Amino acid sequence: MTHTEGMAGLARLIDQAKRAVVFTGAGISTESGIPDFRSPGGIWTQMAPIYFDDFLASEEARAETWRRRFAMEDIFRAAEPNRGHRAVDALVRRGKVSTVITQNIDGLHQASGIPDKQVIELHGNTMYATCLDCGSRYEIADLRAAFEGEGEQKGVAPVCTRCLGYVKTATVSFGQAMPPVAMRRAELETLAADLCIVLGSSLVVYPAAGFPELAKRNGAALAIVNREPTGLDSMADLVVHESIGDTLGEVVGVN
Ligand code: APR
Ligand code: ZN
């Protein structure tokens, strides 16, 4: 398919849709400077994920989890919504997209102007932390200052000052339970959609990747914009293997 055919096809699907959902992965944030996971040079090509059980079982795994997170802090802080995020926001504002179902933890969809209630974070959010036992909230900058400072907390994974529970970013790790309310909302929005647009996901992590599949099986059209082929390409109505920012930005008419 030529670039022009891809653009025309995507424009047509969006034009025909009455209620679309957008499903995003790390690929929509790479143009904001945040690396994805499975592209060449992606995070999981550099290090193995730390599973939730290991985080609970081992002080070293907790410290390594936090070392990795703080090493990414300057990248997360510098990241701004890019043209792809702005194009999704434009579709929400036009009433074309009801909800953004995201696997991303960077908060960039909300930063682009989409109201919180129209963003469903399946894998949580890394821009703050909580105590796993009492739910108290902790700010990353404060935790980083203690972890990287010269005090007794230097290099030690943070624990809750209220109940001594383990403190973790508000994200869902491999092996950790998915957020039930987010999952239920994502299911309802997916079933109500007549178009699902996938942006920047390899679609290999379930149950998240099940939502585009559910949309298609439920009769919605499925469009995938992703640089690399995905496991759902064969069931999609349209596949565009190009960069999200240029593709969706051009179709939606935003810079
Ligand atoms: N434009 C289009 N596609 C892109 C771009 C871009 N600018 N940048 C990257 N991509 C594509 C890559 O080709 C890749 O196929 O985005 C996809 C990102 O896939 P992954 O790195 O696997 O990220 P994702 O699908 O979000 O991973 C799902 O895995 O590790 C867990 O919890 C983590 O939420 C994450 C989940
Ligand atoms: Zn606590």
Reported as a pLDDT band with limits 50, 70 and 90, residue 193 is: very high
- Candidate from 3, 38, 50 with most ligand 1 atoms within 8 A of CB, to mutate: 38
Q: Which atom of ligand 1 is nearest to the CA of 49?
A: 30
For the record, the structure tokens of 239 come out as: 């596949």
**CATH T-level assignment (fold) for domain 1-34+80-123+178-255:** Rossmann fold (3.40.50)
Q: For 165-178, give one letter per residue: b (16+ CB within 10 A) or e.
A: ebbbbbbbbeebee
The pTM of this model reads: 0.98
Reported as a pLDDT band with limits 50, 70 and 90, residue 3 is: confident
* Residue 58 CB contacts under 8 Å (≥ 6 apart), including other chains: none
Mean pLDDT on 99-119 = 98
Name the residue at shortest CA distance from atom 23 of ligand 1: 26
Q: Which atom of ligand 1 is nearest to the CA of 24?
A: 26
Residue pLDDT, tens place only, 224-233: 999 999 999 9
Reported as a pLDDT band with limits 50, 70 and 90, residue 1 is: confident
Residue 238 contacts residue 224 (beta carbons within 8 Å) = yes
Q: What is the pLDDT of residue 35?
A: 98
DSSP H helical ranges for the chain: 3-16, 43-46, 52-57, 59-78, 83-93, 108-111, 140-148, 180-191, 210-217, 244-252
Q: Which atom of ligand 1 is nearest to the CA of 103?
A: 34
Residue 38 DSSP class? S
Residue 102, classed as helix, strand or coil, is strand
First to last CA, the chain: 24
Name the residue at shortest CA distance from atom 33 of ligand 1: 103
Q: How far, in Å, CA of 196 to CA of 241, rounded? A: 16
Mean pLDDT on 3-32 = 97
Q: What is the pLDDT of residue 2?
A: 84
Query: How far does the centroid of ligand 2 lie from the alpha carbon of residue 138, in Å?
Result: 10
Query: How far does the centroid of ligand 1 lie from the alpha carbon of residue 24, in Å?
Result: 8
Reported as a pLDDT band with limits 50, 70 and 90, residue 139 is: very high
How many angstroms from the chain centroid is the CA of residue 182? 13
Residue 248 DSSP class? H
Query: How far does the centroid of ligand 1 lie from the alpha carbon of residue 165, in Å?
Result: 32
Query: How far does the centroid of ligand 1 lie from the alpha carbon of residue 110, in Å?
Result: 19
Q: What are the residue ranges of CATH 3.30.1600.10 in the chain?
A: 39-78+124-171
Ion ligand 2: residues, CB within 5 A, are 131, 133-134, 136, 160, 162-163, 165
Q: Tokens 């909302």 label which residue?
A: 185
Reported as a pLDDT band with limits 50, 70 and 90, residue 203 is: very high
Mean pLDDT on 191-209 = 98
Reported as a pLDDT band with limits 50, 70 and 90, residue 148 is: very high
Q: What is the mean pLDDT of the chain?
A: 97
Name the residue at shortest CA distance from atom 28 of ligand 1: 205
Q: How far, in Å, CA of 164 to CA of 131, rounded? A: 8
Which residues are catalytically annotated?
123
Q: What are the residue ranges of CATH 3.40.50.1220 in the chain?
A: 1-34+80-123+178-255
Reported as a pLDDT band with limits 50, 70 and 90, residue 157 is: very high
Reported as a pLDDT band with limits 50, 70 and 90, residue 217 is: very high
Superfamily of domain 39-78+124-171: SIR2/SIRT2 'Small Domain' (3.30.1600.10)
Ligand 1 touching residue 123 (CB < 6 A): yes
